Each structure stands twice: as C-alpha cells, then as structure tokens.
Amino acid sequence: MCDCCESEGRDPRFHTGSRKVMQVRLFKVSMGKVARINLCKLCDIELFHVGEIRFLNNHIQLTKSLSTNQRQFT
C-alpha cells in the first residue's frame, strides 16, 4: 500500500491497479537517518520529477506521518 496515498486519503488501488508498490528511501527527512516508504508508480514518478524536498512539501500529511511515526519508517 502506498504510504503517500494512504496518508492523504486516496485509494492506492486506483493508482496502481495490480502493480507492486516500490520501497523508496528518503534521505532528507531526519538528520542521519534514512526513511523507507512504499510508493505507488504515480507517486514514485512524482518524487523523481520534483525531487525529495518539493515532494515532501507538496505532501504535508505524509511529512507529518513520517515525523510522528519515525520507528515505522526507519
């Protein structure tokens, strides 16, 4: 399940269909730690196009869930 779609209340099955979600590493979330999140194909493409900082700025709910649930994502 896509962590970004889930945090924003979107249906990730609508975005991905039967495709697999990809595990992505975010390096600029917290100092010295790497966050691992699952993204659907569309969110993964958006992350590639806009970059990590702008992606996190565009998806505030995902950023909040990353900061509150650090153990789940590291």
Residues paired with residue 36 on neighbouring β-strands, in sequence order: 25
The CA distance from 24 to 35, in Å, is 8
pLDDT tens for residues 6-22?
A: 888 887 677 666 678 88
Helix (H, G, I), strand (E, B) or coil at 38: strand
Q: What pTM was estimated for this model as a whole?
A: 0.82
Query: Which domain range does residue 15 map to?
Result: 3-73
Measured in degrees and rounded to the nearest 5, phi and psi for residue 45 equal -65, -40
User: What pLDDT, on the 0 to 100 scale, is given for residue 29?
Assistant: 78
Output 70 or 47, whichever has higher pLDDT: 47
pLDDT tens for residues 27-63?
A: 887 777 888 999 988 899 999 999 999 999 999 999 8
Q: Quote the number of domains for the chain.
A: 1
Q: ∠ CA(36), CA(11), CA(67), 5° rounding?
A: 35
